[in-house]
Amino acid sequence: MASLLAAMSLGCALAVPGAPAGPTGFEMTSFAATSPVVTSSAPLDLGDHPMVSRLVLATGSITAPREPSKSKPKKHGKAQEGAPVDENAGLGPERAQILLRSLTLPGWGQATLGLNGSAKVFLVLEAGIWGSYIAFRVQEAQRTDSYLRTARLAAGIDLSQQDDEFRRIVGAFASSEEYNLLVVTRDAANLYLSDPNHQDLASYRAYIEQHSLKGDMSWQWSDEGSFDRYGSQRKSAQKAGLRSNTALALAVANRLVSALHAARAAGRMHAGAPQGWRLDLDPDPTSPGAFRAALSTNF
């Protein structure tokens, strides 16, 4: 190629002056008739040669052959370009094992994947949740024992073997006689004396005798202060029980979140997705000149 360009340059230099010029600005026939072929084994640097510049201006441009373009790998979801992605990736055995570990102990699956920071977060949350659950259960037991003692000392009734409904009734009425009068007698009257044309006094008295509270199930509060204290202690015990149940719900939620996080982290690691924070700024189509910012992360 270098020999051919040198020969063309010499041909242009030896062109006969005044000869009619072709469309490219020089006579190619003069090259064939008068230019000798010059060959050289040394490399020629013709980039700054004046004749080569005139040749480039006359003929257009000399371009080197293009290399075949390489096709870019396609993106699959959020996987990094060029990273191997398993098209049939799903809940494989390794991923299922990590998920089960996180369901058993939150943070275990993250520790298996090497995500020590996330593992510590879930373990600390788990420890705090169970610590709160134990504390609330202890509070519930202590406050329950307090209102049972109050009922035994101030009302003369042992509620340790009674259900929660009966304990509620003791805290709602000043005495068992009041309960019998306001509740049992009322129910008996509604059942057997509500119809003036058909009243059954025998059934009315039998119902009262059967459902009235007496004997070991009778009580009488000694003073209003003890009555109010019993109700306050009982409500406090119920709140502690509700909080302990909430702690159990949080423990379940912590396991579900940990399992989901571990499964997603395992999938991203398998697909080779980059991890870190990313800030995206997009123009707001509803407001010209405004932008929307979104901060996202893969963890």
In this prediction the pTM is 0.55
| More reliable by pLDDT, 76 or 214 | 214
**Could you count the other beta carbons within 10 Å of the beta carbon of residue 206?**
13
pLDDT of res. 244: 95
pLDDT per position as a tens digit, 170-205: 999 999 999 999 999 999 999 888 887 777 888 999
**Could you count the other beta carbons within 10 Å of the beta carbon of residue 105?**
15
> In one letter, which amino acid is 42?
A
pLDDT value at 23 more than 80: no
> How buried is residue 26: exposed, middle or buried, by Cβ count under 10 Å (0-12/13-18/19+)?
buried
Give the up-direction half-sphere exposure of residue 130: CA atoms within 13 A in the CB hemisphere. 9
Are 266 and 111 contacting, i.e. CB atoms less than 8 angstroms apart?
Answer: no
Question: Percentages helix, strand, coil for the chain, rounded to the nearest 5?
Answer: 60, 5, 35
**Domain boundary assignment for the chain:** 2-59, 93-175+219-271
pLDDT per position as a tens digit, 99-138: 888 889 999 988 888 888 989 999 999 999 999 999 999 9
- Pairwise CA distance, residues 107 & 101, whole Å: 8
DSSP state of 284: -
pLDDT of res. 61: 43
The pair phi, psi for residue 212, each rounded to 5°, is -70, 145
Burial pattern 180-191, b for ≥16 Cβ within 10 A else e, equals beebbbeebeee
pLDDT category at 55 given cuts 50, 70, 90 is very low
Are 102 and 261 contacting, i.e. CB atoms less than 8 angstroms apart?
Answer: yes
